[in-house]
Amino acid sequence: MIRVLLYGLGPIGVMMARQLAARDGFRVVGAVDVDPAKVGRDVGALVGLPRPLHVKVSPDARNTLKQTKPDIVVLCTSSSINAVMPQIEDVLKARVPLVTTTEELSYPVRKHAALAKRIDGMAKRAKVAVLSTGVNPGFVMDALPIALTAASERVESVTVHRVQDARSRRLPFQQKIGAGLTPEQFAREASRGTIRHVGFAESITMIADALGWQLDRITDDVKPKISATAVASEYLAVDPGFVAGIIQDGVGYRHGTPIITLHMEAYLGAPESYDSVHIEGVPKIDMKIVGGMPGDIATVSVVLNSIPKVLASAPGLQSMRSLPLPSYFAGR
Amino acid sequence: MIRVLLYGLGPIGVMMARQLAARDGFRVVGAVDVDPAKVGRDVGALVGLPRPLHVKVSPDARNTLKQTKPDIVVLCTSSSINAVMPQIEDVLKARVPLVTTTEELSYPVRKHAALAKRIDGMAKRAKVAVLSTGVNPGFVMDALPIALTAASERVESVTVHRVQDARSRRLPFQQKIGAGLTPEQFAREASRGTIRHVGFAESITMIADALGWQLDRITDDVKPKISATAVASEYLAVDPGFVAGIIQDGVGYRHGTPIITLHMEAYLGAPESYDSVHIEGVPKIDMKIVGGMPGDIATVSVVLNSIPKVLASAPGLQSMRSLPLPSYFAGR
């Protein structure tokens, strides 16, 4: 049994709790969230399980770490390294390994090099490993295309598409992609950074490092998908001329040429959901995941399946590139 | 520069030499083959390069190892562990790391457990790593499906298809799959084991171990693809009623149920070449490599791209499952 402390019980944290309860090999031994509406409640009841988990949500991470002595912390509180820094410090001071969904920590990029180095140092001193992962960043737009290049004699460029019909996703996701907004509202939110997939710079840097490519620059541009027709999900209706979702392009340039292209479309009414990887080179490689890799459930799975690899890993800040081949974990 | 000794200059060894010469980061420093027609010749001339490599083929592995002190040996002599055992012993006695295409060594199966353990012990004493890999076994029917299960909350079964139109493959491959034979000739060759993809038991065991599945048994059955029409390649013509190639199924059973299915078709005139992975479970995952992962070039690439990972690995017999995420190697 791997004893897990869940840190953060937002939408993804709730799914973590449910999947942990459903799977062999894991036991939730602690839960931390600062939301007063959650503090004191049993995790099982909070996440809608039919039975209690006999673990109460605590607002105090240090105390819960000390009392529960978990094998690992699963942290789902923020995309931002700055925001999670004090939380990670608490976990590493308690010498507990950590897996987090913090997108900005999925791979060290120049902008966050100092913070990543600091976390790496703290983890090494605590003699534990830290990993940030999920379906994206962490898998479909970085680890998977990197793995495919193992069959290449020469790689000229890597292009990854992730297209999702957002109708089947949860409401917070639909809101996060701007569905239902006017184009003006979308532009305002996008310029504030509230509508944006976080992780393209990290995925592009991971691919570039794996391929030994020195990039000149990375661009990351968001634009709205304007609906031509009326489209609706369970939660939202979008009239023609309004925003159905997001189109985002991340591009890594070398010698002025686009060499890594990540293209994402997530909007209500996308005709086909899929992920694809095209590797231009020798040989040409064309991979497609028909129907697409689902978002939330795959994020939760990638995180939980990584736990045994993090526990077995050398101390320090790891990435999906440094750990052994990703795989399902069936319990031990 | 990684200094490579090539051991075995058959069809795959020749392609290794060509790719090594074309890529950054590698230098061929020695070559071993017992074929009198090859001994003494310059490797560059032998493999059809426009310039000499200034490396002569030697029949004496021990001497060449001693004189060239390579960083790694690339061994391409046989699919059989028994056949390569004395060769591997020579390499490990010289304390040189090794990558081989020996299919039976790609993952330790029950039948070869003792030999695999012996190689692991020798490698550990020599403080070097040993890896057997290629496109299959090693990548498309094992490492790649294993990696995809990282996104799974639950895995019920894994099904991999590899379908290849053999018209574009080299003559020895077309002969290896029985193209042009009568059904009776095919049955005789198949029962002798000369027509057969080697590696299904290894790939199935690798997948089962990755998923934590205990298998009852593994089956591995070969049958001919009988051509309904006349079909021809550059090298061979197959009349209706004759064999166009091979259909092979490897199945891993748990509690009597097929849970891992590897299905391979390689024949002249297959209407579509592709590789596909279907993971039944939560979520369902459907991956396809459109056009298929090519055979020989991908085998050579997977082997050479693995070299830096083998050099950085802990000593012992490794596998694609134990090494870090596969990736292209651009030279260092």
Which DSSP string do the residues of A278-321 spell out, in sequence order? EEEEES-EEEEEET---SHHHHHHHHHHHHHHHHHSPSEE--TT
A150, A289, A294 member nearest B287 (Cβ): A289
State whether the Cα torsion A74-A76-A80-A84 is positive or negative. negative
pLDDT value at residue A284: 98
The answer to whether residue B210 is domain-embedded is: yes
pLDDT value at residue A57: 98
CA distance, residue B298 to nearest chain A CA (Å): 5
Nearest to A96 by CA among A310, A324, A328, A323: A310
- Is residue A157's pLDDT more than 90? yes
How many domains in chain A?
2
Q: Residue B168's pLDDT band (boundaries 50, 70, 90)?
A: confident
- Is residue A136's pLDDT more than 80? yes
What's the rounded mean pLDDT across residues A43-54?
97
pLDDT value at residue B301: 98
Q: Residue B48's pLDDT band (boundaries 50, 70, 90)?
A: very high
pLDDT value at residue B172: 87
pLDDT value at residue B89: 98
The answer to whether residue B209 is domain-embedded is: yes
Q: How far apart are CA A290 and CA A274, in angstroms?
A: 5
Nearest to B300 by CA among A32, A313, A154: A154
Do residues A118 and A40 both lie within one domain? Answer: yes
- C-beta atoms of B327 and A149 within 8 A: yes
Instruction: Find the CATH number of the domain harbouring B88.
Output: 3.40.50.720
Do residues A97 and A200 both lie within one domain? Answer: no
Interface test mutation site (partner B, options A148, A325, A332, max chain B beta carbons within 10 A): A325
- Is residue B100's pLDDT more than 80? yes
Q: How far apart are CA B176 and CA B166, in angstroms?
A: 11
CA dihedral angle for residue A203, residue A206, residue A208, residue A209, rounded to 10 degrees: 170
Cα dist from B232 to B9, B195, B242, B291, whole Å: 28, 19, 12, 20
- C-beta atoms of A283 and B306 within 8 A: no
Residues in CB range of A297: below 8 A, 6 or more apart: A15, A19, B153, B282, B283
Domain span at residue A119 reads 2-134+297-317
The Cα angle at residue A269 between residues A163 and A181, in degrees rounded to 5? 100
Residue of chain A whose alpha carbon sits nearest to that of B331: A212
Do residues B219 and B287 both lie within one domain? Answer: yes
Residue of chain B whose alpha carbon sits nearest to that of A139: B151
Residue A323: both structure tokens together:
């750990």
Instruction: Find out whether the peptide bond into A137 is cis, omega within 30 degrees of 0.
Output: yes
Q: How far apart are CA A56 and CA A40, in angstroms?
A: 5
pLDDT value at residue A79: 95
- Is residue A332's pLDDT more than 80? no
- C-beta atoms of A210 and B324 within 8 A: no
The answer to whether residue A193 is domain-embedded is: yes
Q: Amino acid letter at A296?
A: D
- C-beta atoms of A286 and B291 within 8 A: yes
Do residues A57 and A127 both lie within one domain? Answer: yes
- Is residue B47's pLDDT more than 90? yes
The answer to whether residue B328 is domain-embedded is: no
Instruction: Find out whether the peptide bond into B283 is cis, omega within 30 degrees of 0.
Output: yes
CA distance, residue A181 to nearest chain B CA (Å): 31
A146, A288, A297 member nearest B283 (Cβ): A297
- C-beta atoms of B150 and A328 within 8 A: yes
Q: Residue A170's pLDDT band (boundaries 50, 70, 90)?
A: confident
pLDDT value at residue B128: 98
pLDDT value at residue A168: 86
Q: What is the mean pLDDT of chain A?
A: 97
Do residues A70 and A197 both lie within one domain? Answer: no
Give the DSSP H/E element, type plus range, for residue B189.
Answer: helix B183-192
Do residues A182 and A262 both lie within one domain? Answer: yes
CA distance, residue A106 to nearest chain B CA (Å): 15
pLDDT value at residue A34: 97
Do residues B220 and B270 both lie within one domain? Answer: yes
- Is residue B194's pLDDT more than 80? yes
Give the DSSP H/E element, type plus range, for residue B20.
Answer: helix B11-22
B169 against A144, higher pLDDT: A144
Contacts of A154 in chain B (CB under 8 A): 23
Residue A38: both structure tokens together:
């959650």
- C-beta atoms of A147 and B147 within 8 A: yes
- Is residue B332's pLDDT more than 80? no
CA dihedral angle for residue B162, residue B167, residue B169, residue B175, rounded to 10 degrees: 90
The answer to whether residue B85 is domain-embedded is: yes
- Is residue B75's pLDDT more than 80? yes
The answer to whether residue B326 is domain-embedded is: no
Do residues B175 and B259 both lie within one domain? Answer: yes
The answer to whether residue B332 is domain-embedded is: no
Q: How far apart are CA A5 and CA B243, in angstroms?
A: 60
DSSP code per residue over A76-136 = -S-S-HHHHHHHHHHHHHTT--EEE--GGGSS--GGGHHHHHHHHHHHHHHT-EEEE--ST
What's the rounded mean pLDDT across residues B287-297?
95
Q: What is the mean pLDDT of chain B?
A: 97
- Is residue A320's pLDDT more than 90? yes
- Is residue A172's pLDDT more than 90? no
What's the rounded mean pLDDT across residues A294-300?
94
Q: How far apart are CA A31 and CA B81, in angstroms?
A: 51
Do residues B302 and B280 both lie within one domain? Answer: no
Total length of chain B: 332
Interface confidence: ipTM more than 0.90 = yes
Per-residue HEC secondary structure of B69-104 comes to CCCEEEECCCCCHHHHHHHHHHHHHCCCCEEECCHH
Cα dist from B263 to B46, B189, B266, whole Å: 36, 20, 10
Q: How far apart are CA B313 and CA B324, in angstroms?
A: 9
Task: Say what percent of chain B tops pLDDT 90.
Answer: 97
SS3 B21: helix
Give the gyration radius of chain B's Cα atoms: 20
Do residues B118 and B160 both lie within one domain? Answer: no
What's the rounded mean pLDDT across residues B202-227?
97
Residue of chain A whose alpha carbon sits nearest to that of B320: A325
Interface test mutation site (partner B, options A153, A296, A309, max chain B beta carbons within 10 A): A153
Do residues B176 and B286 both lie within one domain? Answer: yes
The answer to whether residue A325 is domain-embedded is: no
Alpha-helix runs per DSSP H in A138-271: 143-148, 171-176, 183-192, 200-211
pLDDT value at residue B170: 87
Interface test mutation site (partner A, options B2, B99, B325, max chain A beta carbons within 10 A): B325
- Is residue A269's pLDDT more than 80? yes
Residues in CB range of A56: below 8 A, 6 or more apart: A31, A40, A41, A42, A43
DSSP state of B214: P
Q: Amino acid letter at B26?
A: F
Do residues A38 and A89 both lie within one domain? Answer: yes
- Is residue A109's pLDDT more than 80? yes
- Is residue B230's pLDDT more than 90? yes
